A and B are shown apart, each in its own frame.
Chain A
Amino acid sequence: AQSVAQPEDQVNVAEGNPLTVKCTYSVSGNPYLFWYVQYPNRGLQFLLKYITGDNLVKGSYGFEAEFNKSQTSFHLKKPSALVSDSALYFCAAASNTGKLIFGQGTTLQVKP
């Protein structure tokens, strides 16, 4: 069965410091991987995706993610966190029919 895991329920980081939100996946075939962000009582906003090509993917709002096939990971990163980055982050993998399989989410708390 395909699955996505986000091992940390919450990540705390000081403003200006680098941040990493972890994600590992288990999918068959070539993975299509996504990161979404969710603000309170809102839908999900697309940040970035990996389909093929460069292992480092750049996305919206200064976020990037590193695809590592050997470790089956797709960690979300940002060099310098902002207080406004505080939100709930979801990693997802697309099945071979296109439906998304989500991790359980990681709350990012950026403190001033």
Chain B
Amino acid sequence: DTGVSQNPRHKITKRGQNVTFRCDPISEHNRLYWYRQTLGQGPEFLTYFQNEAQLEKSRLLSDRFSAERPKGSFSTLEIQRTEQGDSAMYLCASSLEFGSSGRRDTQYFGPGTRLTVL
């Protein structure tokens, strides 16, 4: 496994700007998850995809947030009209299908994208 990769690693933006993050999962993984982590807290679920289908979205994911996973490979998370409260680490994770035995349902995380909104 080459691991989950995320780009960029850091993003500084001004309030009101749009930002887009990319996640490349482990190649054979069909599930892809996005989480947000603020300082001193555990990660919070945002949304997940199985292949190209977005199957669940958290109420944390306001209308300003949108995620895609075209062709079931990489995923993008876009935040429109950023606010200072959006400053956080955005984590991506991937796994094989949930509910299987062994290692198949373990989520493996990327290094994260740290967003700072000024």
Contacts and interface: CB of A to CB of B under 8 A. Distances in A.
Given A44-B43, A44-B91, A100-B45, A94 B109 contact: no
A105 B33 contact: no
Contacts of B6: 43
Given A97-B56, A97-B98, A98-B31, A32 B105 contact: yes
B34 to A, nearest CB: 10
A90 B42 CA distance: 7
B106 A43 contact: no
B44 A51 contact: no
Given A41-B114, A42-B111, A44-B91, A101 B105 contact: no
Q: How large is the interface on A (under 10, 10 to 19, 20 to 34, 35 or more residues)?
A: 20 to 34
A94 B105 contact: yes
A100 B34 CA distance: 10
Contacts of A105: 40-42
Nearest to A95: B45
Contacts of A44: 43, 91, 93, 109
Mostly, the A contact residues are strand
A4 B107 CA distance: 17
Contacts of A51: 101, 105
Contacts of B112: 42-43
A101 B108 contact: no
Interface of A: 4, 32, 34, 36, 41-46, 49, 51, 90, 92, 94, 97-105
Given A46-B106, A102-B43, 12 more contacts: A34-B107, A41-B114, A43-B4, A43-B110, A44-B91, A44-B93, A44-B109, A46-B107, A46-B109, A97-B56, A98-B48, A99-B45
Interface of B: 4, 6, 31, 33, 35, 40-45, 48, 55-56, 91, 93, 95, 98-99, 101, 105-112, 114
24 contacts: A34-B107, A42-B111, A43-B4, A43-B6, A43-B91, A43-B109, A43-B110, A43-B111, A43-B112, A44-B43, A44-B91, A44-B93, A46-B106, A46-B107, A49-B106, A94-B98, A98-B95, A98-B98, A99-B45, A99-B48, A100-B33, A100-B43, A102-B42, A105-B40
